[in-house]
Structure formats: structure tokens, C-alpha cells
């Protein structure tokens, strides 16, 4: 439905009708009696109608009052209709509907592009019916930009009346693996905190494992700990040099990891983990909103960016396949010319 513009006059008129409903009833709603009753039977006595021989006509006052009542009745009906439309489709709801329509369209375009890239990877890597295309974009740079945008969205989500966040309070990392090529993991963003050898190994103290490895070992796609201290106590976190502690030595931050895979049929081509971490304060200090926050972070932030992350990782993998293909071609040419 089209958006109903905010007309101050009609809105004010409808408010006055609601506020002074008795006057509105007498002046506006009963105006229908003006023609059939008042003018017909009382017009001459009230000086509203004059009788000239056999012709009846309205006097000046008759015309003025009739015109006024007609205008009031017309404006009343228009303002009522205006408010009815606003209640059905207020501007803010119409705006959200437009944004949702745009979002759905953009998502559809992204999903189409993602499916095309996965099909291309499958054709190159599994079916071997195509050669790797030449990727001229910079997927690594794009992934770094996506991580920064996710941080900005999280700042907006996490702000409340008592907690304020700045650019150094949150960090997002994106790690990926091409399992058909090797077991090695790589950073799509700048390395921060523990290296992969530390992330994938047990801690020497208490035999803890990292949240990263904890998620890899589980079928779940999310590991969420509003308290790093609790995560460490449960054996699912290894502190790093960026972690801050309170006066009692307890960790102050939070951590959440999200796991994704890019596959076709029975082939997994890419695995990735997005880690969201805070160091000086938890995601929230309100225990009653933790579950809601966990849901919103996954469904309103990560899920919205997941398709864009997947697209860039597909391009990165195709770029990797093209690089290996070029190396193989060069080595074959060298061998032939030797």
C-alpha cells in the first residue's frame, strides 16, 4: 500500500472531532437534517429562505450557513478517512514495509549470486568441466570491510541506558578453511589474539580448549558466552593478551562464535567461523536479556551478513583455485621447454 503522508490539518481536525464529540455530532453529523428539515419547514421563520411570489430562494444567511455546513461535513469525512488510512497503514509501518521489500530483493540477488558461485566451484573442483575463472576483485579486502560493518551493527544492538561502546570494545574475526585443499585455517581478517596453533590446541592450564575449537567439535552452529569467565570455568575458553580482568582477576568480556559451511551435494568446499569478542565489558550486564540478545545477534546480525561473507569466501576460493591452476600451467610449460 502507498504511504499516507502526514497532513497536519486533517490530523488536527480529526483530533478536535474526537475531543469535542458533542459539538461535532450537532454541527457535522446532524447536518444532513439541514436540507430536509430545517430549510424545508423552518427556513422562512428563521430568515434563511425567502419567498418571492411562487419561488423560494436562500437568503444571504441561508447561503452562508449552508456553505459552511457543507464544507464542515466534507472536511469531517475527509479527515476521518485520512485517519482511518493512517491507522491501517501509518507512515512508519509503510516505511518498514518498504525496507523489508528492498531487503528481500537484495537478499534474493545475493542468494542468486551465491548459488552461481557455488555451482562454479562445483564445476571446477568436482565435475572438472570448467577452468577456474580469473577473479579481479579483492575478496580479502571485502571480508575485512564486512567485519567492520558487523561491528557497527553490534554497537547499535548492544547500546543501552547504562553501557556505551566504542571502537576498541569489540572485535570481529573471520577464519576460513578450504578442506579439500588442506586442514589449514586462515584469517580473512587481521589476526587478533591467539594464533591458530593456540586456538586448535589444549591449554596447558586445566586442559581448556578455545571457544573456536569447542564450536568445531560440536554440531551446533553457535557458541555464545556472555561471560568469558564462565566459559573458561567450563573449559571452553583460553584467555589471550587482550583480555581485561576486574579487581578479583575475573575476565570481563564476552565471546560468541558462529560456524558456517559452503557445500554442494556431499562436498564441503569451505568452512568458516566468525568470532565476536569483547574484552573490557560483557555484551550485556542484564541477565534477563541474555537469551534475547543471543537470538538477536545470531538472527539479526550474523544471519544478515552470512550470505555476503559466503559470497566473498567463494570468490576467495575460486581465486585460490585459479592461482594453483596457473602455477600448474607454468610448471608444465617449464617442463616442456626444459
Q: Which of 65-69, 94-98, 260-264 has the highest mean pLDDT?
A: 260-264
Q: Are residues 298 and 177 in the same domain?
A: yes
Q: Is residue 212 in a domain?
A: yes
In a domain, 172, yes or no: yes
Is 101 within the bounds of a domain? no
Q: Is the pLDDT of residue 204 over 70?
A: no
Confidence of residue 171 (pLDDT cuts 50, 70, 90): very high
Mean pLDDT of the chain: 81
Secondary structure of the chain in HEC code, one letter for each residue: CCCCCCCHHHHHHHHHHHHCHHHHHHHCHHHHHHHHHHHHHHCCCCCCEEEECCEEEECHHHHHHHHHHHHHHHHHHHHHHHHHHHHHCCHHHHHHHHHHHHHHHHHHHHHHHHHHHHHHHHHHHHHCCCCCCCCCCCHHHHHHHHHHHHHHHHHHHHCCCCCCCCCCCEEEEEEEECCCCCCCEEECCCCCCCCHHHHCCCCCCCCCCCHHHHHHCCCCCEEEECCHHHHHHCCCCCCCCCCCECCCCCECCCEEEEEEEEEECCEEEEEEEEEEEECCCCCCCCHHHHHHHHHHHHHHHHHHHHHHHHHHHHHHHHHHHHHHHHHHHHHHHHHHHC
For the cut 60, the answer to whether the pLDDT of residue 30 exceeds it is: no
Q: Are residues 159 and 33 in the same domain?
A: no
Q: Residue 225: beta bridge partners? A: 255
Predicted local distance difference test score (pLDDT) of residue 322: 93
Q: Mean pLDDT, to the nearest integer, of 36-43?
A: 58
72 with 141, same domain?
no
Looking at the structure, do residues 71 and 163 belong to the same domain, yes or no?
A: no
Q: How confident is the model at residue 163 (pLDDT cuts 50, 70, 90)?
A: confident
Sorting pLDDT into bands at 50, 70 and 90, what band is 102? confident
Question: Could you tell me if residue 164 is inside a domain?
Answer: yes
- In degrees and rounded to multiples of 5, residue 281 shows phi and psi of -160, 155
End-to-end CA distance of the chain: 72
- Answer yes or no: do 171 and 78 share one domain: no
Mean pLDDT value across residues 105-130: 92
What region does 41 belong to: left with phi over 0, alpha with psi -120 to 50, or beta? Answer: alpha
- Does 66 score more than 90 pLDDT? no
Segment among 95-99, 107-111, 241-245 with least mean pLDDT: 95-99
Residue with cell 570455568: 233
Domains in the chain, number: 2
Averaged pLDDT for residues 281-290 = 90
122 lies in some domain: no
Quickly state the pLDDT bin for 19 (edges 50, 70, 90): low
**Are 75 and 209 in the same domain?**
no
Query: Who wins on pLDDT, 262 or 158?
Result: 262
Q: Which of 67, 88, 109 is the last residue of a domain?
A: 88
Q: Which domain holds residue 285?
A: 137-307
pLDDT score for 207: 77
Mean pLDDT, residues 317-326 = 93
Q: Is the pLDDT of residue 264 over 50?
A: yes
> Phi and psi of 225, rounded to 5°?
-135, 110
Asked whether the predicted pLDDT for residue 272 surpasses 80, the reply is: yes
**pLDDT for res 5:** 44
Is the separation of the CB atoms in 314 and 118 below 8 Å?
yes
User: Which residues lie closer than 8 Å to 13 by C-beta, 6 or more apart?
Assistant: 75, 76, 79
Taking the C-alpha atoms of residue 293 and residue 101, their distance in angstroms, rounded to an integer, is 25
Please check whether residues 277 and 173 belong to one and the same domain: yes
Contact criterion met (CB below 8 Å) for 165 and 253: no
pTM of the predicted structure, to 2 decimals: 0.71
For residue 139, what pLDDT is reported? 95
Assess whether 80 and 145 both reside in one domain: no
Which segment, 25-39, 91-105, 139-153, 319-333, is predicted with the most confidence on average? 139-153
Measured CA to CA, the distance from residue 288 to residue 61 in angstroms comes to 69
With respect to residue 100, please indicate whether it lies within any of the assigned structural domains: no
Residue 6 has a pLDDT of 47
Least Cα distance to 27 among 86, 71, 62 occurs for 71
Are 69 and 181 in the same domain?
no
Cα separation, 31 vs 43, whole angstroms: 14
* pLDDT for the residue 12: 61
Tell me the C-alpha distance between 188 and 167, whole Å.
20
**172 and 53 both lie in a single domain:** no
- In this structure, of 96-105, 134-143, 280-289, the range with the lowest mean pLDDT score is 96-105
Q: What angle do CA 29, 34, 35 make, to 5 degrees?
A: 125
CATH of the domain at 182: 3.30.450
Clarify whether residues 213 and 78 are in a common domain: no
For residue 111, name the pLDDT band (cuts at 50, 70, 90): very high
Q: Are residues 63 and 189 in the same domain?
A: no
Amino acid at each position: 500500500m502507498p504511504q499516507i503522508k502526514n497532513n497536519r490539518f486533517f490530523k488536527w481536525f480529526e483530533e478536535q472531532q474526537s475531543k469535542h464529540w458533542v459539538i461535532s455530532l450537532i454541527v457535522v453529523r446532524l447536518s444532513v437534517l439541514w436540507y430536509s428539515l430545517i430549510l424545508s419547514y423552518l427556513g422562512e421563520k428563521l430568515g434563511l429562505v425567502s419567498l418571492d411570489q411562487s419561488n423560494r430562494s436562500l437568503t444571504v444567511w441561508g447561503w452562508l450557513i449552508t456553505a459552511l455546513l457543507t464544507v464542515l461535513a466534507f472536511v469531517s469525512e475527509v479527515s476521518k478517512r485520512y485517519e482511518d488510512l493512517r491507522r491501517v497503514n501509518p507512515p512508519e509501518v509503510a516505511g518498514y514495509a518498504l525496507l523489508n521489500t528492498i531487503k528481500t530483493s537484495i537478499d534474493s540477488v545475493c542468494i542468486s549470486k551465491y548459488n552461481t558461485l557455488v555451482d562454479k566451484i562445483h564445476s571446477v573442483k568436482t565435475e572438472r568441466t570448467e577452468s577456474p575463472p580469473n577473479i579481479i576483485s579483492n575478496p580479502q579486502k571485502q571480508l575485512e570491510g564486512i567485519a567492520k560493518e558487523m561491528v557497527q551493527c553490534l554497537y547499535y544492538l548492544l547500546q543501552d541506558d547504562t553501557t556505551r561502546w566504542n571502537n576498541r570494545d569489540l572485535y570481529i574475526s573471520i577464519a576460513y578453511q578450504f578442506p579439500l585443499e588442506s586442514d589449514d585455517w586462515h584469517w580473512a581478517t587481521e589476526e587478533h589474539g591467539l594464533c591458530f596453533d593456540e586456538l586448535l590446541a589444549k591449554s596447558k592450564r586445566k586442559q581448556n580448549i578455545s571457544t573456536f575449537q569447542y564450536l568445531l567439535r560440536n554440531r551446533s552452529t553457535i557458541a555464545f558466552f556472555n561471560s568469558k569467565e564462565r566459559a573458561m570455568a567450563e573449559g571452553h575458553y583460553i584467555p589471550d593478551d587482550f583480555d581485561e580482568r576486574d579487581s578479583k582477576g575475573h575476565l570481563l568480556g564476552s565471546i560468541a562464535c558462529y560456524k558456517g559451511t559452503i557445500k554442494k551435494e556431499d562436498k564441503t568446499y569451505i568452512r568458516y567461523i566468525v568470532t565476536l569478542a569483547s574484552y573490557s565489558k560483557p555484551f550485556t550486564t542484564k541477565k534477563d536479556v541474555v537469551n534475547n540478545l543471543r537470538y538477536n545477534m545470531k538472527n539479526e546480525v550474523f544471519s544478515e551478513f552470512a550470505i555476503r561473507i559466503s559470497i566473498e569466501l567463494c570468490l576467495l576460493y575460486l581465486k585460490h583455485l585459479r592461482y594453483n591452476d596457473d602455477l600448474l600451467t607454468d610448471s608444465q610449460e617449464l617442463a616442456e621447454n626444459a
